[in-house]
C-alpha cells in the first residue's frame, strides 16, 4: 500500500470491507448508510450513493467486474467494531450457516480489523482486537477442524495484512491442537496477529522489492520486531508474553536470528511455534522475487534446508498438525 494511500485513509473515516464480507455478513443486516468507493489503480472511484439500495445483483456485478474490496466513507468508525462483534457472534452461533461460511466470515472480519490496527494503532483499536481474538479462540476451541477451512481460504499475497492474518489462524489452531490452555492461547494469538506490525515503519519499496535486498535495506527490515514492541507499548500493551512474541519471532535455535541473536532455551517456546507458522506461510505465499511453494514443498524446505533455524520438536508437531503431507499440496 503506497504511503499517500495510507495517509488518505487515515485522514478520512473509511471502513475497508472485503466484497465477500459485505455479501455474507451485512447484506441482510445493513451496517449503516454510507457512500461506497472502490480503488482502481491509484484512484478512488465513487461507486454507490448511500440512498441507492444495495442489492445482491449489484454486489454480484461488482464481483464480476473484479472488485475485491469496497471503501465505505462514514461519519464515525467507532461504532463499527461494536456492531461487528454482535453480528459475528450471531453468525458463528447460527446452525444454518455451514462451517466453511463461518470460516470465511471469521477470516475476512479478522483482515478488516487487522488492517485498521496496523494503520491506526490506538488503545481502543487494540482493545477491540483483543476482544475479537478472545471470541475467535473460543469458537476455534469448539470447532477443532475449522483450520482446514482456513487453509482453503488463505490468500497468499505478500501484503503484510494477509500474511499476518494467515499466521494468526495457523498459530491459534496449532496451539489449540497441542492442547494449550485456552486463556494462554488468547494471549499468544493476539501477539501472533500483530507480530509484523513493526513493518508499518519500514519503507514500502523495501518490503516489496522484486529482488535481493542491499545490506542497508536488510538492516532496516531486521528492525521491525523492535518497532513492533515500541508501537504496542505506545498503545498500552504491557503483556510480556505478547511483547516477547513480537520481539522473538525471527530468533533461531542456533543463534543466527534477529534482533538479539538469542538461542535455544533463551527463546520462548511460543516464539518457536510462531516462527514455524510464520516461515510456513511465507514459503506458501507469493513474493515479489519468487512464486509460492505448495505446502508439501514448504515443509520439505523447512525440514531439509533450514537446519538449526527452526525448533525440531515444534516442526515435527506442526507437520503432524497439517497431516504431514500438508493437504492441498
pLDDT in tens, 161-186: 788 889 999 999 999 999 999 999 99
- HSE of 128 in the Cβ direction (CA atoms, 13 Å)? 25
Query: 54 or 259: whose pLDDT is higher?
Result: 259
Q: Does this model's pTM top 0.85?
A: no
Buried b (16+ CB within 10 A) or exposed e, 269-308: ebbbbbbbbbbbbbbbbeeeeeebbebeebbeebeeeeee
Q: How confident is the model at residue 259 (pLDDT cuts 50, 70, 90)?
A: very high
pLDDT, one tens digit per residue, over 136-146 is 999 899 887 78
Closest CA to 164 of 214, 101, 99, 119: 119
Q: How confident is the model at residue 268 (pLDDT cuts 50, 70, 90)?
A: very high
> What is d(CA 239, CA 41) in angstroms, rounded to the nearest whole number?
40
Q: How confident is the model at residue 159 (pLDDT cuts 50, 70, 90)?
A: low
pLDDT score recorded for residue 13? 63
CATH code of the domain made up of 79-322: 1.10.3210.10
Lowest mean pLDDT, pick from 25-34, 159-168, 189-198, 314-323: 25-34
Instruction: Evaluate if residue 213 carries a pLDDT over 80.
Output: yes
**Domain residue ranges of the chain, discontinuous segments joined by +:** 1-77, 79-322
Mean pLDDT calculated for residue range 278-292: 83
If you average pLDDT over every residue of the chain, what do you get?
83
> What is d(CA 50, CA 203) in angstroms, rounded to the nearest whole number?
36
Mean pLDDT calculated for residue range 187-198: 96
pLDDT score recorded for residue 146? 82
Amino acid at each position: 500500500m503506497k504511503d499517500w494511500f495510507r495517509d488518505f485513509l487515515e485522514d478520512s473515516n473509511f471502513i475497508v470491507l472485503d466484497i465477500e464480507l459485505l455479501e455474507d455478513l451485512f447484506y441482510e443486516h445493513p451496517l449503516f448508510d454510507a457512500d461506497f468507493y472502490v480503488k482502481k489503480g491509484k484512484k478512488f472511484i465513487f461507486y454507490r450513493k448511500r440512498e441507492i439500495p444495495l442489492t445482491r445483483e449489484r454486489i454480484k456485478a461488482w464481483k464480476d467486474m473484479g472488485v475485491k474490496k469496497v471503501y465505505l466513507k462514514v461519519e464515525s468508525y467507532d461504532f463499527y467494531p461494536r456492531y461487528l462483534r454482535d453480528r459475528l457472534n450471531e453468525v458463528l452461533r447460527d446452525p444454518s450457516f455451514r462451517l466453511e461460511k463461518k470460516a470465511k466470515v471469521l477470516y475476512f472480519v479478522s483482515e478488516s480489523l487487522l488492517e485498521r490496527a496496523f494503520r491506526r494503532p490506538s488503545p481502543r483499536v487494540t482493545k477491540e482486537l483483543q476482544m475479537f481474538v478472545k471470541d475467535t479462540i473460543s469458537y476455534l476451541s469448539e470447532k477443532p477442524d475449522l483450520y482446514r477451512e482456513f487453509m482453503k481460504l488463505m490468500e497468499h499475497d505478500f501484503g503484510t495484512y494477509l500474511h499476518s492474518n494467515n499466521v494468526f489462524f495457523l498459530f491459534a489452531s496449532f496451539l489449540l491442537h497441542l492442547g494449550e490452555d485456552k486463556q494462554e492461547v488468547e494471549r499468544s494469538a493476539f501477539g501472533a496477529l500483530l507480530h509484523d506490525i513493526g513493518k508499518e515503519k519500514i519503507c514500502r519499496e523495501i518490503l516489496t522489492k522484486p529482488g535481493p535486498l542491499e545490506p542497508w535495506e536488510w538492516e532496516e527490515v531486521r528492525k521491525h520486531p523492535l518497532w513492533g514492541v515500541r508501537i504496542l507499548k505506545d498503545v498500552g500493551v504491557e503483556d510480556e508474553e505478547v511483547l516477547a512474541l513480537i520481539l522473538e519471532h525471527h530468533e533461531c535455535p542456533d543463534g543466527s536470528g534477529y534482533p538479539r541473536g538469542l538461542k535455544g532455551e533463551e527463546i520462548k517456546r511460543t516464539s518457536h511455534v510462531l516462527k514455524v507458522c510464520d516461515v510456513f506461510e511465507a514459503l506458501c505465499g507469493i513474493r515479489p522475487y519468487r512464486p509460492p511453494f505448495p505446502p508439501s514443498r514448504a515443509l520439505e524446505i523447512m525440514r531439509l534446508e533450514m537446519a538449526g533455524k527452526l525448533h525440531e520438536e515444534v516442526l515435527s508437531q506442526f507437520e503432524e498438525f497439517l497431516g504431514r503431507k500438508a493437504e492441498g499440496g
